[in-house]
């Protein structure tokens, strides 16, 4: 009898060890199936200008669906459905007069563990940067002691120099464009050079253009008299027979 009992124990022991991996696999599958349902994840959006100021009117789409636009604080919160670890594609369109530095971004859906080891949904913050379509340039014209010179851009007078020969203008152009600026000296034929011109290039940032021009005055030439004998004055005469 003792041998029979030991035989039974030896017989069931290997069976238990064979079933253990199967039980573990079953439990793992059960747990994974319990997480198969997609969750609901918040996505926080923040729209800023280059200067770090918030901007409203940025429209955001996620998973091909429009989710709304940023408010006066530059923020937009919406929810997307998905599984943990999934990557969601976002697209942003800046308000009129601006373009997004990056029109598309990707966010990964995640959970975070709090201090009490409870899982909480993580709301990632996606920052969007809106860049002006037009760049601003401050044009400074310095033509010492030349008042009233017309500043010409694209064939039109846009201003004149002050009595000190100075002028300040604000120009707006798309990045990459070039602008020709000239000083009209038609009313001052004695100035050299005549109608000086500068070409300025707009880059993807605001800047200052300086048009520094010095003039010289042509010396006035004196009119020379022609050499020759002066005609004799009229002398009356009388014929005598």
Whether the predicted pLDDT of 33 surpasses 60: no
Q: What is the pTM of this model?
A: 0.63
Structural domains of the chain in order of their starting residue, each with its CATH number: 38-132 (2.60.40.10), 135-217 (2.60.40.10)
Distance CA 125, CA 77 (A): 9
pLDDT in tens, 215-232: 999 876 666 666 655 656
Which two tokens mark 31?
A: 């747990």
Closest by alpha carbon to 87, among 109, 61, 120, 102? 109
Which residues, listed in sequence order, are joined to residue 90 by a DSSP beta bridge?
Answer: 62, 105
Beta-carbon neighbour count of residue 55 at 10 Å?
19
Phi, psi angles (nearest 5°) of residue 12: -85, -25
Cα atoms in the 13 Å half-sphere on the side-chain side of 107: 27
- 138-150 mean pLDDT: 95
- 40-68 mean pLDDT: 95
Which two tokens mark 95?
A: 């308000």
pLDDT in tens, 44-55: 999 999 999 999
């Amino acid at each position: 009898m003792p041998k029979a009992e030991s035989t039974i124990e030896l017989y069931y022991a290997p069976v238990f060890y064979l079933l253990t991996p199967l039980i573990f696999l079953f439990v793992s599958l059960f747990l994974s199936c319990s997480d198969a349902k997609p969750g609901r994840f918040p996505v926080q959006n923040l729209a800023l200008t280059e200067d770090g100021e918030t901007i409203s009117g940025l429209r955001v789409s996620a998973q091909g669906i429009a989710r709304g636009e940023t408010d006066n604080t530059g923020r937009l919160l919406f929810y997307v459905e998905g599984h943990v670890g999934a990557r969601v594609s976002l697209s942003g369109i800046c308000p009129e007069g601006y373009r997004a530095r990056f029109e598309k971004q990707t966010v990964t859906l995640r959970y975070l563990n709090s201090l009490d080891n409870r899982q909480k949904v993580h709301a990632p913050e996606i920052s969007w940067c809106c860049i002006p379509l037009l760049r601003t340039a401050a044009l400074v014209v310095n033509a010492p002691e030349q008042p009233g010179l017309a500043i010409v851009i694209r064939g039109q007078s846009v201003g004149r120099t002050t009595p000190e020969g100075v002028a300040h203008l604000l120009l707006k152009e798309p990045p990459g464009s070039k602008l020709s600026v000239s000083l009209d000296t038609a009313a001052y034929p004695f100035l050299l050079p005549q109608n000086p011109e500068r070409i300025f290039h707009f880059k993807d940032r605001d800047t200052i253009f300086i048009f520094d021009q010095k003039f010289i005055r042509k010396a006035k030439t004196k009119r020379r008299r022609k050499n020759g004998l002066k005609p004799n004055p009229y002398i009356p005469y009388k014929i005598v027979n």
